[in-house]
Amino acid sequence: MTLHLYRDDPYMRDAKGTVIAQTSEGGVVLDATIFYPTGGGQPGDAGMLHWEGGQLEIATAVKGEGDHVVLVPAGPGPLPEVGCELRQSLDWERRYAHMKIHTALHLLSVVLPFPVTGGSIGAEKGRLDFKMEEPIEDRDAVEKALNDLVGRDLPVSEDWITEQELDASPGLVKTMSVAPPRDSGKVRLVRIGEGETQVDLQPCGGTHVARLGEIGALKLGKLEKKGRENRRVNITFV
Which of 68, 90, 112 terminates a domain? The answer is 90
Q: Is 188 found in the same domain as 110? A: yes
Q: Is 217 found in the same domain as 157? A: yes
Q: Is 17 found in the same domain as 117? A: no
- Looking at the chain, list the stretches that DSSP marks H as alpha helix, in order from N- to C-terminal side: 5-8, 92-111, 139-151, 163-167
Q: Is 199 found in the same domain as 123? A: yes
Tell me: the pLDDT tens digits for 7-66? 999 999 999 999 999 999 999 999 999 999 999 899 999 999 999 999 999 999 999 999
Q: Is 214 found in the same domain as 137? A: yes
Total domains in the chain come to 2
Q: Is 106 found in the same domain as 204? A: yes
Q: Which domain holds residue 13?
A: 3-90
CA distance readout (Å), 12 to 5, 15, 129, 142 = 8, 7, 31, 33
**Average pLDDT value for residue range 73-89:** 96
pTM of the model: 0.94
Which of 78, 82, 58, 81 shows the shortest CA–CA distance to 70? 58
179 pLDDT higher than 70 = no
Which pLDDT score is estimated for 220? 97
Which pLDDT score is estimated for 172? 82
Which of 87, 99, 95, 98 shows the shortest CA–CA distance to 14? 87
Residue 43 is part of a domain; what is its CATH number?
2.40.30.130
Structure-derived torsion over alpha carbons of residues 78, 32, 43, 136, reported in degrees to the nearest 10: -170
Q: Is 192 found in the same domain as 226? A: yes
Q: Is 117 found in the same domain as 66? A: no
* % of the chain exceeding 90 in pLDDT: 84
SS3 content of the chain, % helix, strand, coil (to 5): 20, 40, 40
Terminal-to-terminal C-alpha distance of the chain: 41
Which of 90, 124, 159 terminates a domain? The answer is 90
Q: Is 170 found in the same domain as 53? A: no
Q: Is 226 found in the same domain as 120? A: yes
Which of 136, 190, 196 shows the shortest CA–CA distance to 160? 190
Which pLDDT score is estimated for 217? 98
Q: Is 119 found in the same domain as 220? A: yes
Which pLDDT score is estimated for 98? 98
pLDDT grade for 167, boundaries at 50, 70 and 90 = confident
Which of 90, 125, 147 terminates a domain? The answer is 90
Query: Which amino acid, residue 43?
Result: P
- For residues 17 and 97, what is the distance between their CA atoms, to the nearest angstrom? 24
Tell me: the pLDDT tens digits for 196-235? 999 999 999 999 999 999 999 999 999 999 988 899 999 9
Q: Is 128 found in the same domain as 59? A: no
